[in-house]
Amino acid sequence: MKEIFAKHPLGAAIALLPVWIFLYLILQHIADGLVALSGLMQGERFTEALRFFIFEVPKVLLLLTLIVFIVGIIRSYFSPERTRKMLGGKKLFAGNVLASLLGVVTPFCSCSAIPLFLGFVESGIPLGVTFSFLIAAPMINEVALVLLFGLFGWQTALLYMSTGLIIAMVSGYIIGILKLEKHVEPWVYEVKAGHLEMGEDKIQFAQRISAGVDAVREIVSKVWIYIVIGIAVGAGIHGYVPENFMAGIMGKGAWWSVPVAVLIGVPMYSNAAGIIPVVQALLEKGASLGTVLAFMMSVIGLSLPETIILRKVLKLRLIFIFVGIVATGIIIVGYIFNAVY
């Protein structure tokens, strides 16, 4: 497989697509067939939990493979250098909008947050615009979107993405007009960054395909285990927790549920792969969409390790302001969705 992809990346990708579609279409039948074969009683709790598990795990993994592959190709068109160039000289709000959108497509890993922050600030990109990027990049990632699409449907995935973008734009804009530059560690402004010369325009399409393959190898090998565990827990909730169990705690009626969900979510660190299947099961048991959305955003978008990393370049006060503004945005989104749905 590896060799075929190395020699004929485009051909291999095109040839695999029908296989993918076929597998995706017959999954439900395979899951039902396996459950029937097992001789377990239909409708029993354990049977339903098992059915859920053996259907959802391969489904989500298939979706993940396809989307990560496509996103890997898209990302090969965007580098942090190019993004930085596009953001240069942009005025406040327009810069925030563009930075948030670019945050979604530019390759980003929270371990690179510092060099990226330094590179942006050093080249004169306003602090608020830099923040818009740093908020959108981890919050709206392909793993989260795949899981939302696979387990909740495209409406929720789209909702998550658009509200996440709005939070990134507005939070960055507010940080921008608050003029918080003095709360950045002084050494940041003394950094003299060199100029990187790398021929990135001459990439051929075959290389972009292999960038997609690399992305699949890297991301899927890292997150599959969380997906399996997350869906297993979700399947347990699905089969065993009574209907409407969550309504009292995370339902619409409980006004405090949104801020509490965010308070619990911010220090919690889990990747999207582990948390979303659990949250999906909770939604089914009577939790309300706004609360669930707020919880997910605070877990995925605001993570403790990333804020600790950012402490190297930001004074504590700015970190609190940053977390405070984003958390407030998430709470507002949670309330709006609880009111609308």
Q: How far apart are CA 171 and CA 324, in angstroms?
A: 10
- Please report where in the chains the tokens 């959305």 appear, as a residue: 293
Site string for another protein, 51-80 (x = CB under 8 A): -----------------------------x
The distance of closest approach from Cβ of residue 194 to another protein in the complex, given in angstroms and rounded to an integer, is: 4
Question: And the tokens for 119?
Answer: 């590179």
Tell how far CA 305 is from the center of its chain.
16
Say whether residue 81 binds another protein (CB under 8 A). yes
CB-CB contact of 244 with 285 (8 Å): yes
CB-CB contact of 142 with 109 (8 Å): no
Binding to another protein (CB under 8 A) within 89-128 occurs at 107, 109, 111-112, 114-116, 118-120, 122
Nearer to another protein, 192 or 202 (CB): 192
Among 59, 84, 252, 285, binds another protein (CB under 8 A): 84
**Nearest CA-CA partner of 61 in 215, 228, 218:** 228
Among 7, 29, 179, 312, binds another protein (CB under 8 A): 312
Coil, strand, or helix at residue 50?
helix
The distance of closest approach from Cβ of residue 96 to another protein in the complex, given in angstroms and rounded to an integer, is: 19
Cβ-in-10-Å burial (0-12, 13-18, 19+) of 300 comes to buried
Among 22, 77, 154, 187, binds another protein (CB under 8 A): 187
- Please report where in the chains the tokens 């990560």 appear, as a residue: 68
Q: How far apart are CA 21 and CA 285, in angstroms?
A: 31
The distance of closest approach from Cβ of residue 79 to another protein in the complex, given in angstroms and rounded to an integer, is: 8
Say whether residue 304 binds another protein (CB under 8 A). no
Say whether residue 240 binds another protein (CB under 8 A). no
List residues binding another protein (CB under 8 A).
Answer: 80-81, 84, 107, 109, 111-112, 114-116, 118-120, 122, 187, 190-198, 214, 312
